Amino acid sequence: MPPYPEREGGCVLNATIDSFAWGSLRPRLDAKIKLESADLGIRLDYTVDSEMELNGELDLVKAAIKRLKANNSHGFDVFLHCDAPPGSGLGSSSALMVALVGLVKEFKNLPLTPYEIADLAYVIEREDLEIKGGLQDQYAATFGGFNFIEFLKDRVIVNPLRIGNDTMNELEHNLLLCFTGNTRRSDEIIRDQTARFEEHNKDTIGALNQQKHLAIEMKNALLRGRLDDFGDLLHTAWESKKKISPRISNSRIDEIYEEARNHGAIGGKITGAGGGGYLLLYCLFDKKHIVAERLRKLGATPAEFAFERNGMQTWRVHEASSGH
């Protein structure tokens, strides 16, 4: 989370799962632009000459169109759908932004590299729209798979990890995603975290430094197939993360996590900035079903998932009436 990477250098261990942001762009022969979100139930009509005011309705789409000058030729229809809700902590908004950059890249035949796609998605989301957040989500969604990502002052380095099928299968069998029952706005959590770093809060700075160290340790455990160690480190990382800001956890999250630990979870953490969304739990293989059942009784929603090796993908479909 800026400004930590620019000053100290940051890193994350990241993997993508089979929860997707989908988009289609259909060129038109006239000057009309139609934007539609299946999830939000919003449909907007413009022309290529429209200002597209940023007013809270599909601003991600409008900002991508503006930044990439997608509306300087013929019109088009954009349709969007995302598997994960906003505020889930699963990086859904950044995945959607990456998908939008991919759509315009394909539409305009832009020669963008994956690094350029991720950087554009970051700039549009964090600078143009001023949405608070870090850098990892855009790079994770663009590149896909298991990555150890380094954030330095002047560049980002994505290191793909060669995770064997045995390790990946065991991870999928032992890991459990659990929706805590509420989404959250991450802005206030991030502002508090940033303010504490700027004020040189010892607990915050110490926890951030430990997060970086633990990311390296977890990467090493993963590459060596030491998954019990990975689970223990996940627990240590969660205890450390909570020290960054008191807003990262709450009584609801603490209750769910404690119940999971009492019935077979070795470790876990909240995804995203915290405050709500999903918990990721690493369980003993023969206790995962018990953990899931106990959390259901608390009103949480366990979810199975699989890892996804691919990042952003675009393709073309030719229809009889128009391109797609």
**Which residues are tagged catalytic?**
137
CA-CA-CA-CA dihedral for 214, 217, 219, 221, to nearest 10: -130
Tell me which residue of 237, 227, 231, 297 sits closest to 271, measured CA to CA.
237
Q: What is the Cα 308 distance to its own chain's centre?
A: 13
Compute the distance between CA of residue 256 and CA of residue 83 in angstroms, rounded to an integer: 24
Q: What is the Cα 217 distance to its own chain's centre?
A: 22
What are 11's strand-pairing partners? Answer: 150
Residue 271 in tokens: 């995804």
Compute the distance between CA of residue 187 and CA of residue 176 in angstroms, rounded to an integer: 26
Rg over alpha carbons for the chain, rounded to the nearest Å, is 20
> Which residues have C-beta within 8 Å of that of residue 132, sequence separation ≥ 6?
126, 186, 187, 190, 191, 194
Tell me which residue of 269, 234, 275, 284 sits closest to 252, measured CA to CA.
275
Residue 233's SS3 state is helix
Which H or E element spans position 115? helix 114-122
Residue 2 in tokens: 């800026």
Compute the distance between CA of residue 309 and CA of residue 307 in angstroms, rounded to an integer: 7
Q: Are 81 and 39 in contact (CB under 8 A)?
A: yes
